[in-house]
Amino acid sequence: MKKLTLLLTAFYISVCSLIAQEYKIPVAEDAEKMKTGKYQPTWESLKKHSTPEWFRNAKFGIWAHWGPQCVEGSGDWMARSLYIEGTREYKYHVEHYGHPSEFGFKDILPLFKAEKWEPEKLVAKYKEIGAQYFFVLGNHHDNYDLWDSKYQRWNSVNIGPKRNILGEWAAAARKYGLPLGVSLHSDHAWTWYEPSQRYDQNGPKAGVYYDGKLTKADGKGKWWEGYDPQELYAQNHEMSEFSWNNGQIHRQWAWGNGASLPTQEFVTNFYNRTLDVINRYKPDLLYFDVTVIPFHQISDAGLRIAAHFYNSNPNAVMFGKILDSEQRKALTWDVERGAPNEIVEEPWQTCNCIGGWHYNTSIYERNRYKSASTVIKQLVDIVSKNGNLLLNIPLRADGTYDDKAAVIVDGIGEWMKVNKESIYDTRPWHIFGEGPVAEKVIKLNAQGFNDGQYGNMDWRDVRFSQTVKYLYATAMGWPEDGVITIKSLAKGNKYFKKSISHVYLLGYGKLKVKQTADGLVVTLPKPVNKIAPVLRIKK
């Protein structure tokens, strides 16, 4: 009995410890109050929310992952990398703009002009090529807000383009009837900007600190006089353990392994900014680049954001990464640059990009964009597994995409115009597909990061989707001899009981087929599109 009592006591202490850890940094609701209603800030309550049917039907969204980090064309995370001595981004910044002790990321912000940006024109184009929802970057790890923020003076209305980027994107999305998504990433500025506290270890500037520790007082007589750099960089704290190890941030992303923990003021500021977006711009979707939800391991902020969002919009979608099976009942799972190789019961999403998340001139010059063919094949594969694809088209700092991206955008539109019925409003079949890639064991790496293993799909790989009336079979390419044999539709198969004598090739017409013990043998005409044939089979 004594042993049982000790065990129960230990269990109780353990549970209390976990609860205390979860709420170690509770938000202060002096400025923004969580909306009350059906949902409470607990996992049990949030699990009552289901991913809405409109999202399951949509399948394809476009993301404008765009902000001041596009100014130098150095790619994603440049506002961190420019402070890492010896990197390509650091060298470029020093050569073209100055040393980060004298010209840091704060000084890049006024150079973000968005002078050719036409949000309505872009959103209209994205809808034309098939997007069913549209995502906007609200802020990134650089901690700069792209709207007239109530809680961050370093924003796009005060500094840079002097325009309400989020507000104008939102108006364009509403005009064209696209649900609006907003992604918010600034919760990690605390650790992400830590290299700005460093200094060069070599060369003429060795030992000279970068600008990450500057304060409002240092701005006297400067262009940024009156602004506090710490409201941007958030570096008035001790660095995380092993912070000079440039890869350590990935091991500390979930606020463990020696990460410097943020203050209540920092956590609350992110909470206030997020509720500001929800209350004023009424998004339908929210995305966070975090493990599970913002500050999940140390604060109640993320749970409160979710409850506020769902109570504000019962048909909302809130994404989380690296979710367990229970958390996927409360949030919609997002997989970054990858996909599971199986049908997932709950609706989910892949976020991906034709190039880098922020505009990267090097990717353009080296012709390293994903082709329209690659994008479409990944979309078809994702849809067959009950997922959606959110695709970023990188914009230059002036607010336009380049000529090579234009070819890809148009290529996506050409295929979707004819074959969209096999994508929208569909559901998975009994199996997602067949072929060499379908049969591979493809594991996720952390948030995802396995899309390279789907890059070699060809006509032998077939993916399925269905509506009440039709089964769609999409081959991931056109065979040279014009013949496809779909093994899963062989005579006597256990999934499709009716005999099949005809199929309809989208963009062409009816085809005669032969159903044998080896499979459904389909002889195709000359290619009617440049990417993948879609067969429609009446149930």
Task: Indicate the burial class of 153 (C-beta count within 10 angstroms; 0-12, 13-18, 19 or more).
Answer: middle
Written in H, E and C, the secondary structure of 256-305 is CCCCCCCCHHHHHHHHHHHHHHHHHHCCCEEEECCECCCCCCCCCHHHHH
Task: Indicate the burial class of 445 (C-beta count within 10 angstroms; 0-12, 13-18, 19 or more).
Answer: exposed
- CA–CA separation, 256 vs 17, rounded Å? 15
**Which whole-number Å values give the CA distances from 282 to 41, 276, 285, in the listed order?**
20, 10, 9
State residue 19's pLDDT score. 41
Q: Which amino acid is located at 263 in the chain?
A: T
Per-residue tokens: 527:
């290619």
Write the DSSP assignment of 336-382 as a string of letters. Answer: ET---SS--SS-EEEEEESS-SS-BHHHHHTT-SPPHHHHHHHHHHH
Task: Indicate the burial class of 391 (C-beta count within 10 angstroms; 0-12, 13-18, 19 or more).
Answer: buried
- CA–CA separation, 137 vs 353, rounded Å? 14
CA nearest to 24, candidates 330, 301, 326:
301
- CA–CA separation, 70 vs 47, rounded Å? 38
H helices, E strands: number in the chain: 15, 16
- CA–CA separation, 530 vs 54, rounded Å? 30
Number of other CB atoms surrounding residue 524 within 10 Å: 19
Number of other CB atoms surrounding residue 455 within 10 Å: 11
Tens of pLDDT, residues 173-186 = 999 999 999 999 99
Collapsing DSSP states into helix, strand and coil, what is residue 66?
Answer: coil
Q: Which amino acid is located at 409 in the chain?
A: V
Return contacts of 501-507, CB within 8 angstroms, 24+ apart.
503/473, 503/535, 503/536, 503/537, 504/535, 504/536, 504/537, 504/538, 505/533, 505/534, 505/535, 505/536, 506/418, 506/419, 506/421, 506/422, 506/533, 506/534, 506/535, 506/536, 507/418, 507/419, 507/534
Number of other CB atoms surrounding residue 427 within 10 Å: 15
State residue 23's pLDDT score. 65
Q: Is residue 352 within 8 Å of residue 451, measured between CB atoms?
A: yes
Chain centroid to CA 483: 38
pLDDT by position in tens, the chain (length 539): 333 333 333 333 333 334 434 569 999 999 999 999 999 999 999 999 999 999 999 999 999 999 999 999 999 999 999 999 999 999 999 999 999 999 999 999 999 999 999 999 999 999 999 999 999 999 999 999 999 999 999 999 999 999 999 999 999 999 999 999 999 999 999 999 999 999 999 999 999 999 999 999 999 999 999 999 999 999 999 999 999 999 999 999 999 999 999 999 999 999 999 999 999 999 999 999 999 999 999 999 999 999 999 999 999 999 999 999 999 999 999 999 999 999 999 999 999 999 999 999 999 999 999 999 999 999 999 999 999 999 999 999 999 999 999 999 999 999 999 999 999 999 999 999 999 999 999 999 999 999 999 988 999 999 999 999 999 999 999 999 999 999 999 999 999 999 999 999 999 999 999 999 999 999 999 999 999 999 999 99
- CA–CA separation, 445 vs 336, rounded Å? 10
Q: Is residue 311 within 8 Å of residue 160, measured between CB atoms?
A: no
- CA–CA separation, 371 vs 455, rounded Å? 10
The H or E element spanning position 9 is helix 2-22
